[in-house]
Amino acid sequence: MSESAASKPIPGGKDVLVEFEDGIAWVQINRPEKRNAMSVGLAEEMNEVLDALELDDRCGVIVLTGVGEAFSAGMDLKDFFRATDGISDVARHRAYRSTRAWQWRTLMHYAKPTIAMVNGWCFGGAFTPLICCDLAIADEKAVFGLSEINWGIIPGGVVSKAIATLMGDRQALYYVMTGKQFDGAKAVELGLVNEAVPKDQLRARTAELARELLAKNPTVLRQARMAYKFAREMSWEHAAEYLTAKVDQTNFVDPEQGKQQGLKQFLDEKTFRPGMGNYVRPK
């Protein structure tokens, strides 16, 4: 175990709780009395937690969820919006920067796989970290909503950009314009989450998926995630050049030499057949 994992405690403990379980870091938004609505203080604490976990050997996969009956009800009207009224422009932009940092800049390009576990209410600003996690599993009866229109405002932050990356225009505009709510099963149809399961199976299914990711070559998994995320914004020609270079970079930085091991198992040892067996990571 590295020095960071062995001797340095993880930040948090107030608005963010961290629990380790066999390579999984369960990162929990801890404001249940406010349905885990997100404040300036939460953003600052979450940034510290995510920075620490990125270098912590106890964490191979992050699961982001909420304490109690909510994933998150979105931005806290009092402890975020009111808290940033009447302060200096510099302080206000600092608060915005802290929120943007963890919700999308960090999660979108995090070095380790991330899974959002939507255990209940998911509203407004909570759509951003939900979408910026790599994968998502929801309680089939979780309640989702973009209710800002009912408050006389538009979805704030980068929520509109976030939903546009996963939802089709017709569906996205329908929920933005009506403010209607939908459940976890509908969230699967809309492409917001990968799966929706009964509440009593949610943690177990999420842990099962996390363990599946933990079994992969971590370097190749990271490179594959980043390659996809950057390539989707490129033209075909730019993507072709970028992905060719990414393959070479992956082969160079991978300490497990996954490509060579895979070819050896496939061509020489005849122990692996794509779709018919499992690639075995070298010990």
pLDDT digits (tens, 9 = 90+) for 50-80: 999 999 999 999 999 999 999 999 987 655 5
Judgement on whether residues 138 and 262 belong to the same structural domain of the protein: no
Residue 273 belongs to a domain: no
Long-range Cβ contacts of 237-244 (<8 Å, 24+ apart): none
Do residues 210 and 223 both lie within one domain?
no
DSSP per residue, 16-39: EEEEEETTEEEEEE--GGGTT-B-
* Structural domain containing residue 139: 3-214
Q: How far is CA 193 from CA 73, 115, 130, 138, 184, in A?
A: 17, 10, 8, 7, 8
Nearest to 146 by CA among 133, 161, 159: 159
Q: Where are the beta strands (DSSP E) in 38-119?
A: 61-66, 70-72, 114-118
Is residue 239 domain-shared with residue 191, that is, in the same domain?
Answer: no
| Same domain (yes/no): 167, 258 | no
Query: How many CA atoms does the CB half-sphere of 278 hold within 13 Å?
Result: 7
Q: Which helix (H) or strand (E) holds 181?
A: strand 181-183
- Confidence at residue 252, expressed as pLDDT on a 0 to 100 scale: 84
Whether residues 107 and 238 share a domain: the answer is no
Q: Which band of pLDDT confidence, cut at 50, 70 and 90, is reported for residue 95?
A: confident
What pLDDT was estimated at residue 166? 96
* Residues with Cβ within 8 Å of residue 228, at least 6 apart in sequence: none
Confirm whether 281 is domain-assigned: no
What's residue 3's pLDDT? 45
Same domain, 52 and 110: yes
Cβ–Cβ < 8 Å for 192, 166: yes
Domain identity same for 206 and 234: no
CATH number, position 143: 3.90.226.10
What is the rounded distance in angstroms from the CA atom of residue 196 to the CA atom of residue 133?
16
- Residue 102 in any domain: the answer is yes
Q: From the CB of residue 273, how many other CB atoms can be counted at a distance below 10 Å?
A: 11
Query: Do 197 and 227 reside in the same domain of the chain?
Result: no
The phi and psi torsions of 197 (rounded to 5 degrees) equal -130, 160
Q: What is the pLDDT of residue 256?
A: 75
- Does 267 score more than 50 pLDDT? no
| pLDDT number for residue 7 | 53
Among residues 172, 189, 214, the one where a domain terminates is: 214
Q: What is the pLDDT of residue 126?
A: 96
- Is residue 191 domain-resident? yes
On whether residue 277 sits in a domain, the answer given is no
Is residue 21 in some structural domain? yes
| Residues 106 and 231 occupy one common structural domain | no
Task: Please report which confidence band the pLDDT of residue 91 belongs to, taking 50, 70 and 90 as the band edges.
Answer: low
Contact 71, 130 (CB under 8 A): yes
Please tell me whether residues 209 and 256 are part of one structural domain.
no
Over residues 248-258, the pLDDT tens digits come to 998 888 887 65
Does 275 fall in a domain? no
Confidence (pLDDT) at 40: 87
The answer to whether the Cα torsion of 92, 16, 145, 167 is positive or negative is: positive
Same domain membership, residue 141 and residue 252: no
**pLDDT digit string, tens, across residues 175-211:** 999 999 999 999 999 999 999 999 999 999 999 999 9
Domain count, the chain: 2
Question: pTM for this one?
Answer: 0.88
| 223 and 116 within one domain | no
DSSP-based three-state secondary structure for 123 = strand
